[in-house]
Amino acid sequence: MVREIRPFVVGRRLTGVRASRRRLRRPWSPAWGRRLRGREILDVRRRGKWIVVDLSDDLGLLVHLGMTGRLVAVPAGAPVASHTHLVFDLASGGMQLRFRDPRRFGAVCLLRGPQGVDRFFLESGLGPEPFGVDRGYWRCRLAGSRRCLKAILLDQRVVAGVGNIYADEALFAAGLHPARPGPSLAVDEADRLRRALVAVLRRAIRGRGSTIRDYVGGSGRPGGFQRRFRVYGRTGEACFRCGGQVCCLRLAGRSSHFCPRCQPLAPSPAVPEGPGRG
DNA sequence: ATAGGCGCCTGCTGGC
DNA sequence: TGCCAGCAGGCGCCTA
């Protein structure tokens, strides 16, 4: 979404903002609209599940999409879709940045000061981006909690940006059962999970995200990674790897898809048991 | 510390 | 055809 929005908005000035009456998870303040007017968009970037719009005069606009949020750059004359809560007018180019969110689990807020955005992430305890996580940190976070892997992956303080789809896909790619407790992982299993997570996320980004119902990127195009799902949403279907049935469990309050044969609950013995051991 | 349940919302699907 | 339950890319709050 960020990549598709960026070419239309970076370097442009905000000339006006209109907000709907509907209340978002974090209510939009009309004062923010006044403060935004005339500011230049310096950059658009992502941190975890947050979209950060860096503005001139040390302002930062944060956008969280929740479940159904979308941020699109469209021509100013395009029809305004239902559930459009914020419309940002951009100087020159005739484009608008629009935030739409039918379920209103999303949030948009404006932060001030040179460290406003950084402080926000620090205070919320947001974890590191998955791509730069080192083995030591990862092992430590897995061992330091008795929670199951699914819950750990979804915890934004452990690693930022992983949601339900990519947690399930990463666990399948690593061959690990989502209900395994973090401390039960051997060193090589922990490392497998870290690498699988990075690989799945990279592939998903290359595929421009996953469209299950209504997700679209910043240009309004649906994603393509949903065609690559190995387990997510495939309950009862045949596992692509072993042909067994994909199962679904409720873990950490979320549906968790996995193949019980490829992702055994008991860790597979790394070395066959010798006669004198046990 | 952790799990589970609920609430926040709208929209879609499947069963009756 | 219509109604109703159940479900969904998230997350914060509460209780046990």
Give the C-alpha separation, A264 to A45, whole Å: 38
Tell the residue number behind the tokens 């009862």, with chain if given.
A236
CA A26 to chain CA centroid, Å, is: 18
A254 beta partners: A251
Nucleotide B6: closest residue by CA–C1': A253
Tell me what pLDDT residue A42 has.
97
pLDDT of residue A278: 25
Contact A47, A53 (CB under 8 A): no
CA to C1' distance (Å), from A14 to B7: 35
Locus of tokens 């929670």: A147
Provide the CA A28 to C1' B7 distance, Å, integer.
20
Kindly report the bases of strand B lying within 7 A of a protein C-beta atom: 1-12
d(CA A128, CA A121): 10
| Measured CA A34 to C1' C10 distance, in angstroms | 29
DSSP A273: P
pLDDT score of A266: 81
> What was the pLDDT predicted at A269?
53
Q: How far apart are CA A237 and CA A235, in angstroms?
A: 6
- The C1' atom of B13 and the CA atom of A212 lie apart, in whole Å, by 14
- Give me the pLDDT at residue A176, please: 98
Distances (CA, A) of A31 to A90, A101, A108, A274: 18, 21, 13, 71
pTM above 0.85, yes or no: yes
Tokens 């092992």, residue located: A139
Give strand C nucleotides closer than 7 A to any protein Cβ. Answer: 7-12
User: For B7, which residue's CA is nearest its C1'?
Assistant: A105
Regions in chain A scoring below 50 on pLDDT: 271-278
